[in-house]
């Protein structure tokens, strides 16, 4: 597993993970401290969600906006990569998104990963006054958006004439630091369209599914790559992974606290964070995904805001995966 990489979500509020921090400024400082902790611990990247209301139900609780948060974290950190899982295409025009991404890549000295997807949280769309088209149309919009973003990143006077988006000599300066452009991670597992978009435009795919499903989706992706003449091995295969690290007493405590913050029963939380137990158990879970073809794992730790939890995960789990926390930042 020498090539395996691990990223980690920082507390952002979306999963009610900052609800116990009373002050909005301290909520952000908690997110920032976790980002710095992840950098020091040796994670490959810090990740944020692109959402505006909390889950599993919308609450009057802080959810920090994705791209402004990344801009701040880009300056609070110095070596760790920064990504979103994933940017919702419907919330910003893709030309503006490409501009924002270019600026963040420069601000971070070339550490940006662009995650993008078609969007799904209908309540959020409607609450903010965004149109929520049917799934096929959202996917067609995503297809055009990927072309717009690449044009903005690579052309001096970007041109594009599509059904949904148009560019008429758009100037995007500064261009991203990374060449030919920042990596594009496409989230979603739709077999007919989304995985085909990965084969055509993506540098990585991302799933949130069980091991058996992931194996099947990767087989479908392999077929799409063959159909478009893409090297399957050139696509990074990634998953989101939701563990609670600890012995039974610790797991029970975290489950109870998380249930209280989220306003859910403990059974729901255990389904939300299905991998729970000691470092050996967590490492075996990750290993199952690696054996299915996964190369990158993004970890969400529900109690990361407590401090020290991210470091402990690296110290205990990394060695069991053949990784060295001390050397991963090199």
Asked if residue 134 belongs to a domain, the reply is yes
Q: How many CA atoms lie within 13 A of 221 on its CB side?
A: 33
The CA-based angle 84-225-87, given to 5 degrees, is 15
Q: Which of 239, 268, 238, 259 is nearest to 303 (CA)?
A: 259
pTM: 0.96
Asked if residue 215 belongs to a domain, the reply is yes
Q: Give residue 2's pLDDT band: very low, low, confident or very high (50, 70, 90).
A: low
Asked if residue 257 belongs to a domain, the reply is yes
Asked if residue 329 belongs to a domain, the reply is no
Element spanning 35, H or E: helix 24-41
Asked if residue 62 belongs to a domain, the reply is yes
Q: Each residue of 83-119: pLDDT tens digit?
A: 999 999 999 999 999 999 999 999 999 999 999 999 9
Q: Each residue of 138-176: pLDDT tens digit?
A: 999 999 999 999 999 999 999 999 999 999 999 999 999
List the CATH number of the domain containing 308.
3.20.20.30
Asked if residue 328 belongs to a domain, the reply is no
Work out how many domains the chain is built from and give that number.
1
**Residue 143, domain extent:** 5-321
Asked if residue 330 belongs to a domain, the reply is no
């Amino acid at each position: 597993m020498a090539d395996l990489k691990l990223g980690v979500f920082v507390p952002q509020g979306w999963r009610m993970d900052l609800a116990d921090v009373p002050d909005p400024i301290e909520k952000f400082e908690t997110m920032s401290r976790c980002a710095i902790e992840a950098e020091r611990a040796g994670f490959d990247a810090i990740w944020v969600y692109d959402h505006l209301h909390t889950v599993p139900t919308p609450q009057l609780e802080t959810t920090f906006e994705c791209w402004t948060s990344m801009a701040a974290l880009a300056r609070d950190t110095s070596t760790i990569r920064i990504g979103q899982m994933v940017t919702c295409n419907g919330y910003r025009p893709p030309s503006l998104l490409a501009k924002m991404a270019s600026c963040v890549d420069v601000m971070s000295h070339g550490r940006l990963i662009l995650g993008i997807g078609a969007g799904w949280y209908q309540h959020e769309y409607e609450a903010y006054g965004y149109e929520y088209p049917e799934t096929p149309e959202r996917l067609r919009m995503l297809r055009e958006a990927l072309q717009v973003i690449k044009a903005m990143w690579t052309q001096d006077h970007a041109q594009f004439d599509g059904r949904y988006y148009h560019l008429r000599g758009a100037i995007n300066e500064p261009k991203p630091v990374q060449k030919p452009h920042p990596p594009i991670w496409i989230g979603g597992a739709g077999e007919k369209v989304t995985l085909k978009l990965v084969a055509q435009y993506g540098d990585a795919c991302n799933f949130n599914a069980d091991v058996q499903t992931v194996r099947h989706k990767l087989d479908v992706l392999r077929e799409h790559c063959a159909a478009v003449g893409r090297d399957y091995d050139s696509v990074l295969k990634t998953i989101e992974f939701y563990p609670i690290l600890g012995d039974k007493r610790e797991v029970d405590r975290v489950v109870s606290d998380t249930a209280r913050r989220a306003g859910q029963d403990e059974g729901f939380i255990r389904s939300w964070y299905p991998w729970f137990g000691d470092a050996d158990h967590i490492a075996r879970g990750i290993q199952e995904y690696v054996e299915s073809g996964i190369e990158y794992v993004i970890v969400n730790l529900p109690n990361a805001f407590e401090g020290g939890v991210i470091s402990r995960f690296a110290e205990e789990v990394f060695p069991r995966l053949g990784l060295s926390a001390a050397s991963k930042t090199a």
